[in-house]
Each structure stands twice: as structure tokens, then as C-alpha cells.
């Protein structure tokens, strides 16, 4: 039993093999020529395939005609037929490129051409469409196997004829539409090859089996493809239309570069040639600048360029020279250029001056940007505040030296999650870094968050800092989420603590003698008020009041010191706040009456729920607010009202007066320590600026809030504090 290898590769030479051998020599020669010449890439791709496929056809036919066994011949004829059909598809692709429509078959679209091949291939392989017959060697001693037409051979003929017809029609259309005479002649040659191929195909099919002198007429893919292959090869070689011209290539390269290339006549310095970049850079068309001389273009710089760069190059002192200058563009703008000047010489003679001009505007802009960046970097490194840049994933993009010192870290934190590097606490509650990084685009630079006196924790290190988180409007475009500016207040807080300790100590030391002075002065007033005159009594009374005010100030200072140190503990109990308000009002009625004021307390209806508070501290808050209203009101009344809000379970107490009011610019500061409103200073009204500060601190201890409202000077003021009921 014969093996597959025996069936396929048992060969015997016969005269009919000369047909495909001749064809193979021609196509291999054309392929080698194509690979070794400079042809446009799109065109070259299809030419390599067109000359490559016939080689396969020729080899298959050589094996088919020289096969000893019928099975081998049939296999090789089938391979040849399939390749012949594939050749016609490749020819169609080459034709599409030839007529300038290569964009239709670029990328993956070129593979759509092979769909007909895949459609017909099953007919060839599964339906026994190719048969072979043995050629008798009785007369001449030459044998072999010839291919014959099988049952479905007409399918192959129709497809091949159809594809060749499409290619021929496209070439004919191209031939009548192109105005280039060489292209017309080239198309004529291609058409001749297609027509001869189709005539041979039809004739061979009609005369199949005929013999001349005992020889079978040539029949097979090699003889069919020879005319069209030769015509394509001759058309490309003879007319060289698709060859890459080095001069054209150089000119195309010059046209695409951003530099300007001048070719200047060395005798009169007239510009003989200029590249297309001139219009983009200087605004001059090539026609306009072609009428100019260098002295017109370079203006005041011409003499310098001539003496320092052109003449040394022309006289062989230097091969190339460089210089910078500014050239006025068509619209009057001064454009900075760098010139590279050389000369084209032959046998010592200068035939042209070549100037390559580079636009320096973009380079200067980049240098300016780099300088600004370096300046900003130096500023950031020199400021004492820490600066940290975060992206939208909270990763650290930038950190300056001050921030590294605050964190006691090196610059290895770049790229790390901010949560891994530091933690922020605001009044004991952890600050979510996500709240500092806005996930949206801003129309302008904005401050996202401003945190005061928060704790920055890094390992065992704790620092008191102020933090500002800012967003830039370009943040979304450059993935820059937020810029954190951190001001270390640890040293300030330490100084404040030392100052508070000193003031508290001094207040404690003053309290004892002041108590004694106040007591003795009070005794003097009681003992001597009948024995002294009115002026002397007034002096003593004023002294008592002054000592009393000083004692209140000292008590307030000591209380503030305790609060700031966290030494004050609330003793809460459930009470009705309206009862507490009533008690405080009773204490203040006589004080208000001395200034002609009345105090009105609006009793709540229905009653308010009981609140869990420290009654002594809230009494101090209310007392300080009423004292403030009495102090800055000369007439009218002071109204006290209350309100309960079910939504958040809070009770509000409002103290409204008809006094001098508060300017709008002072409202944010009225609860600051030792703050006095400007209008108050002008009135020389007494006060140490601690009453409202104490009220705010005590309300904060109850987790409440206190606000001040006023419509301006002369409009009175309203103070309202809100505390939770539980």
C-alpha cells in the first residue's frame, strides 16, 4: 500500500513540466526585482502577493505534471487551482490600489476580499471538481497527468472570469479618467495582459484535449497567469510610476518638518527655494517669500548674519554656523528664530546657501514654564507652611519640605495613600480625607475646607495645626484633587498655654487681696456713709464697684483657664429651662431698671420638654447675654423667647435687645476672646470682652451652638443659643 508521501512526491520528469518551469522563472525574477526596488509601500504589498502566488501555482503544476501517481497529480492540481483563484482576488486588491482607492482595503477591510475564495473553496475540495487524466507516452515517450474539467469546474471558471472582469473594468475606468499620459500607457499594458489571459482561459477551455503533432496544447494555471503577470511586471518596470523618487522623497520630508528651509543664491542672496513651513511660521506664502532677498527678510539683523555666519561658511572658514535672531512675520509679529547655515559646494565653488530656521517660540514658552515651575518649587520649599498635593484617590502627588518636617518623614511618601501617612482629628473625631478632596470639576479655584486647631497625628507625634484644602479649576484635567496647606500651631498653642497659665496664676494671686480690699471697702461704706459727705461717699462707692468689676474679670479669667485646660466638668440635671430663665430674669430686673430698660420673658406655650444641662453654666450663659444687652442699650426692652425643634430635639433661647447693634463686619468676631466692636470703643463702654467668649465656650461644652444677628448700627442685636434636650 502506497504511503501519502509516495503518492505526493514520487515524480518523473516529462516535457510538459517545461511549461510551469518557464513560468516559475519569470515570476521569481519579477518577485526578486520587486523586493529589491523602492516602490510605494501600499503598492509593493500587493505586488509581492501577486508575484508570490504564481510561484505557488507554478510549483504545484510542476509537481502535478511530473507525478507518477494519479492521486498525487490530483492533489497538486487542486492546490494550483485554489492558488490560481486566490491570485485573481489579489489582483483585484492590487487594482484597487492602482486606481487610488487603497483606503477602501486598509486594515482589517482587506481581508473581506478573501470571502469569495472561502465561499468557492468547499466546491473544489468536497465535490471532486478537479479530475486528471494520464497523457499517453506511446508516440514520443513523454507522459504525465493533465487536468480535465470536473463536474463543478464551471464554478471556478465563473468566479475567476468574474473577478478578472471586475479588475479589467476598474483599470479601463482608471485609464479613461487619468490625465497622466504615462499612467494611460501603463493602464493599456495592464489591460492587454488581462485580455490575453481571459482569451487564453476561454480558448483553452474550448479546445481542451486537442493535440498538435502528438502534443497536448498547454493547459493549466501557469499558461493562464503568464500574460497578466508579465504585463503587470512590465508596466511597473517600464513606466516606474510607483517607484519612490529620492528627490521627491527629500522634498516631501522637507515639507513635513516644522523647520523652514531656505535655499539662497550666493551671488545676490535671493531666496530661490523655501519650504512650506514658512507660511505657518512667518505667515508668508512661498510665492511671496520667493520674491524676497535675505536682507529684506532679516531686516536690521542682516549685516550681523552676513558677517558672522554666511561669509565664514561661504569662504570655507567654517562648515556650519548658528545664530539667533528675530524676523518680522507677515502680520508684524517678531518671531524668534535659530538659524543653521551651511553651503552647497562642488569643486570649491558655492552653488547655494542652505539655511534651516527653527521657530524658538515654543522653546521659549517651555523655558518660561520651566522657570515658573522652578520659581514655584523654590517658593514652596521656602515657605514654613506644609503643602501636600493629592490626587482624586487620596494619593500624595507632591509634598514640600515643611510638610515632611511636620510628618517627620522623607520624600518616600510620594504615591502613598494619605491615610497611611497621617491622620487628622477635629475635636477628637477623625477627619475623613475624602471630605478634603472634591470629586467634581470647579469653574474657578476654590477653598474646599478650612479646619482650625485640629490634631495632625503621625505615629506618636501629635501637632496642633490649621488646615486649608483648596481645589484648582484644572484639577479634573490633570488628576489633581486637592492642595492641602498645613500651618503648624503647636508652638503658638504652647505659648498660649504658657500665657494662660501665667494669667491664671496672676489672677489667683490677685483674687485674695482683691477679696480683702472689696470687703474692707464695703465695711467703710457701711460704717462711714452717715459721717462723710456725698462726694466722699461717691468716691468710696466707685472704688467698691471698680474692685467688684476687677473681681468679676479675675473670676472670668480663671474660669476660661479651667475651660481651656479641660478642667471644667459639667454637673448635668434634668430641669425646665423656662424656670431657669425666670430666676435669671428676676436677678436682672433691677439692673435693667437703673437704665430705664424692661425685661420681657415670653413664656412658652405649650411647655418645653425638660433639658439635661448644667444649670449653673447655662445660667452664666444667659446672665452674660442679658448683661451684654443691658450694657449696650439705653432705652426700650430686652425680650427673651424660647423654641423647641422636634426635628433635631433641641431647645433655643433668644435674647433680643433694642441697643446700638453690631456692624456686619464685626458679627463673625463677637464671640472672640477680648474682642470689642468698633462702635463700642467709640462709646467708651466698659467691658473686658470675655462675657460672650465664656458664653460660647459653655454652650460648646453642652454640644450646642450660639450665634449673633444684627441689621447694623442702631438696629439692636439678637443672641441665640441652641442646646440638645438630652
Over residues 93-111, the pLDDT tens digits come to 878 877 877 777 766 666 6
CATH number at 494-564: 1.10.287
Fold classification of 383-488 is Beta-Lactamase (3.30.450)
Q: Confirm whether 383-488 and 573-724 share one CATH topology.
A: no
**In the predicted model, what is the mean pLDDT of residues 327-346?**
85
Pairing type for strands 705-709 and 718-724 reads antiparallel
Structure confidence by residue, pLDDT tens digits, 207-252? 555 555 555 555 666 777 778 888 887 777 777 655 544 444 445 5
Question: Regarding the domain delimited by 247-364, which CATH topology (the fold level of the hierarchy) does it fall under?
Answer: Beta-Lactamase (3.30.450)
CA distance 724 to 212: 120
Which pLDDT tens digit goes with each residue over 481-520? Answer: 788 888 888 777 777 777 777 777 777 777 778 788 878 8
Residue 540 near residue 527 (C-beta atoms within 8 A): no
Q: Alpha-carbon distance 300 to 290, whole Å?
A: 20
Alpha-helical (H) ranges within 10-40 are: 18-36
C-alpha angle with apex 206: 201 to 209, nearest 5 degrees?
105
Q: If you ran DSSP here, which 8-state letter would residue 510 be given?
A: H
Residue with cell 486647631: 453
Q: Is the pLDDT of residue 306 over 80?
A: yes
Q: Which pLDDT does position 676 carry in this prediction?
A: 77
Q: What's the pLDDT at 357?
A: 86
| Cβ 117 vs Cβ 85: under 8 Å | yes
CATH topology of domain 4-244: Rhopdopsin 7-helix transmembrane proteins (1.20.1070)
> What's the pLDDT score for residue 622?
94
Q: In the block, which residue shows the cell 490625465?
A: 179
Gap between the Cα atoms of 636 and 428, Å rounded: 44
- Cα–Cα distance measured from residue 377 to residue 382, given in angstroms and rounded to the nearest whole number: 9
Which H or E element spans position 249? helix 246-256
pLDDT at 253 over 60: no
* Cα–Cα distance for residue pair 142/136, rounded to 1 Å: 7
Q: Among 588, 617, 618, which Cα is nearest to 600's?
A: 588
Domain formed by 573-724, architecture:
2-Layer Sandwich (3.30)
- The 3-state DSSP class for residue 596 equals coil
Does the structure show a pLDDT above 70 at 293?
yes
3-state helix, strand, coil in the chain (%, to 5): 55, 20, 25
Q: What is the pLDDT of residues 607-659, one digit of tens each?
A: 889 999 999 999 999 999 999 999 888 889 999 999 999 888 999 999 999 99
Other C-beta atoms within 10 Å of 195: how many?
15
Average pLDDT, the chain: 79
List the Cα angle 133/138/144 in 5-degree steps. 35
Rounded Cα distance between 576 and 642, Å, is: 12
Q: Are 661 and 685 in contact (CB under 8 A)?
A: no
Predicted confidence (pLDDT) at residue 187 exceeds the cutoff of 70: yes
CB 726 within 8 A of CB 707: no
Residues near 446 by beta carbon (within 8 Å), at least 6 away in sequence: 470, 471
Domain parsing of the chain, residue ranges: 4-244, 247-364, 383-488, 494-564, 573-724
Name the grid cell of 153.
Answer: 469546474
Contact predicate 293/310, CB 8 Å: no
Q: How far apart are CA 578 and CA 573, in angstroms?
A: 14
β-sheet with 718-724: strand ranges across = 598-601, 637-645, 650-656, 718-724, 705-709
Sign of CA dihedral 392, 395, 398, 399: positive
- d(Cα 484, Cα 633) in Å, to the nearest integer? 45
Amino acid at each position: 500500500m502506497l504511503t501519502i508521501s509516495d503518492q505526493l512526491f514520487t515524480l518523473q520528469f516529462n516535457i510538459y513540466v517545461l511549461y510551469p518551469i518557464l513560468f516559475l522563472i519569470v515570476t521569481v525574477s519579477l518577485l526578486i526585482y520587486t523586493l529589491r526596488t523602492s516602490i510605494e509601500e501600499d503598492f509593493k504589498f500587493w505586488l509581492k502577493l501577486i508575484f508570490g502566488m504564481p510561484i505557488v501555482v507554478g510549483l504545484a503544476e510542476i509537481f502535478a505534471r511530473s507525478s507518477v501517481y494519479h492521486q498525487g497529480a490530483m492533489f497538486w492540481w487542486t492546490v494550483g487551482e485554489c492558488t490560481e483563484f486566490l491570485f485573481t482576488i489579489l489582483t483585484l486588491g492590487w487594482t484597487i490600489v492602482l486606481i487610488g482607492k487603497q483606503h477602501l482595503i486598509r486594515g482589517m477591510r482587506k481581508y473581506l476580499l478573501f470571502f469569495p475564495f472561502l465561499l468557492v473553496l468547499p466546491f473544489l475540495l468536497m465535490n471532486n471538481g478537479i479530475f486528471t487524466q494520464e497523457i499517453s507516452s506511446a508516440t514520443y515517450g513523454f507522459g504525465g497527468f493533465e487536468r480535465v474539467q470536473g463536474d463543478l469546474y464551471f464554478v471556478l471558471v465563473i468566479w475567476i472570469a468574474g473577478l478578472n472582469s471586475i479588475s479589467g473594468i476598474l483599470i479601463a475606468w482608471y485609464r479613461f479618467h487619468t490625465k497622466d499620459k504615462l499612467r494611460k500607457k501603463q493602464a493599456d499594458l495592464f489591460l492587454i495582459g488581462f485580455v490575453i489571459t481571459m482569451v487564453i482561459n476561454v480558448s483553452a477551455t474550448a479546445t481542451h484535449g486537442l493535440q498538435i503533432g502528438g502534443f497536448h496544447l498547454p493547459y493549466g494555471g501557469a499558461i493562464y497567469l503568464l500574460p497578466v503577470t508579465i504585463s503587470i511586471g512590465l508596466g511597473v518596470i517600464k513606466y516606474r510610476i510607483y517607484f519612490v523618487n529620492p528627490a521627491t522623497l527629500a522634498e516631501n520630508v522637507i515639507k513635513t518638518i516644522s523647520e523652514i528651509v531656505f535655499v539662497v543664491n550666493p551671488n545676490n542672496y535671493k531666496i530661490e527655494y523655501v519650504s512650506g513651513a514658512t507660511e505657518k511660521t512667518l505667515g508668508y506664502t512661498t510665492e511671496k517669500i520667493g520674491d524676497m532677498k535675505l536682507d529684506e527678510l532679516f531686516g536690521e539683523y542682516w549685516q550681523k548674519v552676513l558677517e558672522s555666519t554666511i561669509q565664514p561658511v561661504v569662504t570655507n572658514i567654517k562648515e556650519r554656523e548658528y545664530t539667533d535672531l528675530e524676523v518680522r512675520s507677515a502680520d508684524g509679529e517678531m518671531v524668534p528664530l535659530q538659524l543653521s547655515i551651511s553651503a552647497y559646494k562642488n569643486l570649491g565653488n558655492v552653488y547655494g546657501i542652505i539655511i534651516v530656521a527653527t521657530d524658538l517660540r515654543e522653546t521659549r514658552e517651555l523655558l518660561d514654564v520651566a522657570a515658573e515651575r522652578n520659581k514655584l518649587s523654590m517658593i514652596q520649599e521656602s515657605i514654613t507652611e506644609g503643602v501636600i498635593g493629592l490626587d482624586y484617590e487620596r494619593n500624595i502627588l507632591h509634598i514640600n519640605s515643611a510638610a515632611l518636617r511636620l510628618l517627620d518623614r522623607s520624600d518616600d511618601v510620594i504615591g502613598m495613600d494619605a491615610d497611611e501617612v497621617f491622620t487628622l482629628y477635629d475635636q477628637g473625631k477623625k477627619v475623613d480625607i475624602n471630605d478634603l478632596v472634591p470629586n467634581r470639576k470647579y469653574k474657578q479655584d476654590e477653598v474646599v475646607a478650612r479646619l482650625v486647631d485640629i490634631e495632625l497625628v503621625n505615629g506618636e507625634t501629635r501637632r496642633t495645626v490649621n488646615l486649608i484644602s483648596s481645589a484648582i479649576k484644572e484639577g479634573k484635567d490633570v488628576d489633581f484633587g486637592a492642595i492641602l496647606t498645613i500651618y503648624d500651631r503647636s508652638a503658638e498653642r504652647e505659648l498660649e498655654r504658657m500665657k494662660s497659665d501665667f494669667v491664671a496664676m496672676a489672677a489667683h494671686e490677685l483674687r485674695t487681696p482683691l477679696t480683702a480690699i472689696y470687703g474692707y471697702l464695703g465695711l467703710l461704706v457701711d460704717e462711714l456713709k452717715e459721717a462723710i459727705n456725698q462726694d466722699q461717699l461717691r468716691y468710696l462707692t466707685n472704688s467698691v464697684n471698680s474692685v467688684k468689676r476687677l473681681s468679676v474679670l479675675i473670676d472670668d479669667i480663671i474660669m476660661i483657664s479651667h475651660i481651656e485646660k479641660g478642667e471644667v466638668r459639667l454637673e448635668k440635671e434634668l430641669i425646665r429651662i423656662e424656670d431657669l430663665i425666670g430666676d435669671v430674669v428676676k436677678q436682672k430686673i433691677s439692673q435693667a431698671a437703673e437704665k430705664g430698660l424692661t425685661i420681657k420673658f415670653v413664656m412658652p406655650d405649650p411647655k418645653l420638654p425638660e433639658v439635661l444641662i448644667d444649670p449653673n453654666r447655662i445660667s452664666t450663659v444667659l446672665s452674660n447675654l442679658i448683661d451684654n444687652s443691658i450694657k449696650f442699650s439705653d432705652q426700650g426692652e430686652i425680650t427673651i423667647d424660647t423654641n423647641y425643634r422636634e426635628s433635631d430635639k433641641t431647645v433655643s433661647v433668644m435674647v433680643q435687645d433694642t441697643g446700638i447693634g453690631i456692624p456686619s463686619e464685626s458679627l463673625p468676631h463677637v464671640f472672640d476672646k477680648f474682642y470689642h466692636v468698633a462702635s463700642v470703643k467709640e462709646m467708651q463702654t466698659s467691658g473686658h470682652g470675655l462675657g460672650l467668649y465664656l458664653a460660647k465656650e459653655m454652650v460648646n461644652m453642652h454640644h450646642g451652638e450660639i450665634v449673633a444677628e444684627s441689621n447694623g448700627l442702631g438696629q439692636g442685636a439678637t443672641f441665640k443659643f441652641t442646646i440638645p434636650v438630652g
